[in-house]
Amino acid sequence: MVRAVDVLALTIFISACLGGIFIVCFAAEVRRRRRSSPERDSLLPLDLAATHPPTVANSSEFPKPL
């Protein structure tokens, strides 16, 4: 049978691991946020310099201009 002390130690260990994961993810997000902003990220799909022009094989996927 599992003792209450073992369950408490396991609970504290798992909580500490989850807290560590949160801190690492938060630090990575803060570091990424310095290089970018929500406004810039929302406009990235419209950035024409970062996208490649469509090739002949892919040109049928795009609608033709009027």
- CB 54 within 8 Å of CB 61: yes
Over residues 11-42, the pLDDT tens digits come to 999 999 999 999 999 999 888 777 777 777 77
Return the pLDDT at 11: 95
Q: What is the pTM of this model?
A: 0.49
CA–CA separation, 44 and 47 (whole Å): 5
